[in-house]
Structure 1
């Protein structure tokens, strides 16, 4: 098994940085600071795996995910609503509001990814101890239809597809496990889940899949990203530093730089470089991200 290191990047720390994604149209890395209500943007430095910050987009927190759209704009999950943002980052238009139960349990949208056919999968999470099993995973189709894919979830995280798109990797973080599902590309539906990897010393958070089918998983609480082959065998560990490692994505024109987000929540805020982004070049190539197919999308305001 290999052990690699990651170095801290230039962007200043956030409180809960998450959801990195490479946008090849603008050659920018996008990520969010959930608590800060910001969509951050940066280009990759020319001669070193570091990031050059561009102006962020500010929204009302919590902002849990951002994804490119085929129209040239962005899709963002904000609280219980999915918004479309124009290419200049200025105009917000609500697409759909997720029907969260009014039962006293605090919930919000959390991690989100676009499947290989341009649909959005977005999960919710409970933000209180009485919300165990109260969250869900949804699919937003290009025509605006919202479908529930999973119930009984606590913290929906870690979406990623195999290179052929027919396998979905998914984490309900408090289970300390990443599960794998057969994925029907024609319908966007899930088959039965089965365990893929276990994490007794932390909680699996965001993940990404490389071109060879290896699954790179951020382990919250363990300060690491761990890579597994498609059979679930651990082969690489990236030592990050701060304990709250939240997500990872391959970035750059060649998709060969692994960028890692971290958080600075509660006691972890005292850790060196908590909330910063990190990078390494692990010798793997990422899969290109698919933009959300929003050409036929009608927002809730009818536009």
Structure 2
């Protein structure tokens, strides 16, 4: 087992969606329920950027500079100066009680992001695809808490979490089509619920375990290879960063915790991974 070290103060309520990009100078993540994008400076200071939405679900770099942020019901494009350049129309009506949650980019540079019901209604979520041409389409329905996803190094398979299934599933992927969904890993009862994930360059999967105070590393065969322990129960996402992409950055949440309980929850942590992570795939639009 490996223990993680604290990188930031517990400044977020629900830190999520950690992602490293040299294009924007290092680590970004979201404080999801406050609608903010956070950035870690070289001096350890954290910058907080409001999106204007009640939800900031995820952030990814854009190939041409700047970044894309998925908010409660919209896809939004931002310039390198932090100014918002464009926003889609809401993908569904506010009355639907649905919000975006988590995702990533595919090998062609399109952004995939899943949705979920605020009330966690079974099957109410959808995996959506936002194209480089700003088109929006459904990939599949029937998810409950559509969560972390990531592709293998060669782009031929996609790992995916629908949290209540307690599984990491894997799809075959070719020419923009997902097929042959099947279980890759079953997370044991009592270990926490699978949340955000990242893939390493050996096609191992690192998954944050909400309620489990840990990140699990499963190798390419699906065997448990490493456990990273955290001093906070609600572990939400992980990514690889640093010059060699060999440091695992991990976000945590204060959701469902009482004041004074787990004082480090809401912090970002880091741990040596012993393997190189895959670089982030940027949005092509």
| TM, length-normalised to structure 2 | 0.94
Tell me by how many angstroms 1:92 deviates. Answer: 4.5
In the aligned structure 1, how far is the partner of 2:92 from the partner of 2:70? 14
Are residue 274 (structure 1) and residue 265 (structure 2) matched? yes
1:114 pairs, out of 105, 124, 128, with 105
Matching residue of 2:232: 242
Matching residue of 2:83: 90
In the aligned structure 2, how far is the partner of 1:271 from the partner of 1:58? 26
In the aligned structure 1, how far is the partner of 2:68 from the partner of 2:36? 13
Are residue 283 (structure 1) and residue 271 (structure 2) matched? no
Taking only aligned residues, the RMSD between alpha carbons, in angstroms, comes to 1.6
Are residue 56 (structure 1) and residue 48 (structure 2) matched? yes
Counting only pairs closer than 5 Å after superposition, residues 93-242 of structure 1 correspond to structure 2 as 93-99=86-92, 105-129=96-120, 131-184=121-174, 186=175, 188-199=176-187, 200-201=189-190, 202-242=192-232
In the aligned structure 2, how far is the partner of 1:37 from the partner of 1:107? 15
Tell me by how many angstroms 1:11 deviates. Answer: 4.0
Q: 1:257 touches 1:280 (CA, 8 Å); kept in 2?
A: yes
Matching residue of 1:48: none
In the aligned structure 1, how far is the partner of 2:216 from the partner of 2:63? 31
Q: 2:248 touches 2:272 (CA, 8 Å); kept in 1?
A: yes
Count of aligned pairs: 281
In the aligned structure 2, how far is the partner of 1:118 from the partner of 1:163? 14
Q: Secondary structure at the match of 2:101?
A: strand
Q: Secondary structure at the match of 1:271?
A: coil
1:34 pairs, out of 10, 32, 35, with 32
Q: Secondary structure at the match of 1:194?
A: strand
| Cα distance change on mapping 1:174 and 1:44 into 2, 3 Å | farther
Q: 1:27 touches 1:252 (CA, 8 Å); kept in 2?
A: no
Tell me by how many angstroms 1:276 deviates. Answer: 0.7
Deviations 1:107-127 (A, max 9, x none): 101102111221100100111
Tell me by how many angstroms 1:54 deviates. Answer: 4.2
Deviations 1:14-49 (A, max 9, x none): 11100011111132211000112210011456xxxx
Are residue 73 (structure 1) and residue 78 (structure 2) matched? no
Q: Secondary structure at the match of 2:132?
A: coil
Matching residue of 1:18: 16
Matching residue of 1:298: none
| TM, length-normalised to structure 1 | 0.88
| Cα distance change on mapping 1:235 and 1:44 into 2, 3 Å | farther
Q: Secondary structure at the match of 1:25?
A: helix
Q: 2:146 touches 2:163 (CA, 8 Å); kept in 1?
A: yes
Q: 1:105 touches 1:128 (CA, 8 Å); kept in 2?
A: no
